[in-house]
Amino acid sequence: MKEIEARRSIRKYKSVEIDKKIVDRLIEGARLAPSGNNRQPWHFILVTNRETREKIARTAHSQTWMLTAPLFIVCIADIKARMESDDEFYVDEETASFELKRAIRDTSIAIGHILLEAVSLGLGTCWIGWYTQKEIRPILGVPEDKFVLGIITVGYPDEVPEPRPRKSVNEIIHNERW
């Protein structure tokens, strides 16, 4: 697929706003992702506010290039979407729960859809995961039972990076058994 081949992590964006209809298409891509038991355990916060983006970038080890992106999509895995219980939960990087792993799995597929849909729309993205739950959640008012799985910077690319090196097929493929 051409979108898979063309996708790069983009860390420099043009100063051009993204039309709402284009953003809607990104979200539609995520919404149609598959999920275990069709639970769709995902939420997305669309952040364009400059001050909020600055706070997020600071939390992400002050990667100032992030601010060239006019839109951040904060992607959240929601363990509650997989549970019947109304009990209070707390999740973070060290939570053991299988349900959290499942919510991370499903939300990752949905985010992957956003990255590819972006390519098809001429947009660039970068998935940022370098922050802590403890620091990022208060900035956005995210409850402590939700796991912020990634911040996706979105914008029109202002760089054309080379592909990153990859493992060879032989390093990742096994025939019939390990």
* List 101, 134, 159, 161, residue binding a copy of itself (CB under 8 A): 101
Q: Which is nearer to a copy of itself, 14 or 43 (CB)?
A: 43
* List 17, 31, 64, 159, residue binding a copy of itself (CB under 8 A): 31
The CA–CA distances, whole Å, from 111 to 49, 93, 118, 135, 163 equal 21, 19, 11, 21, 20
Q: How far is the CB of 14 from a copy of itself (least distance, A)?
A: 21
The CA-based angle 128-134-140, given to 5 degrees, is 70
Backbone angles phi, psi at 22, to 5 degrees: -70, -45
The footprint of a copy of itself on this chain (CB under 8 A) covers a number of residues equal to 70
Residue 165 contacts a copy of itself per CB under 8 A:
yes
Q: How far is the CB of 11 from a copy of itself (least distance, A)?
A: 13
Residue 13 contacts a copy of itself per CB under 8 A:
no
Q: How far is it, in rounded angstroms, from Cα 136 to Cα 123?
A: 25
129 three-state secondary structure:
coil
* Residues 58 to 87 in contact with a copy of itself, rule: CB under 8 A: none
* List 10, 69, 142, 154, residue binding a copy of itself (CB under 8 A): 142
Give the H or E element holding residue 154: strand 146-155
* All residues at 6 or more sequence positions from 155 whose CB lies less than 8 Å from its CB, including other chains: 10, 13, 14, 16, 18, 68, 69, 70, 71, 123, 124
Q: Please report, as ranges, the residues that interact with a copy of itself according to CB under 8 A.
A: 1, 3-5, 7, 9, 24, 27-34, 36, 38, 40, 42-49, 52, 93-98, 100-102, 104-106, 108-109, 111-113, 115-117, 120, 127, 129, 140-143, 146, 149-150, 163-167, 169, 172-178
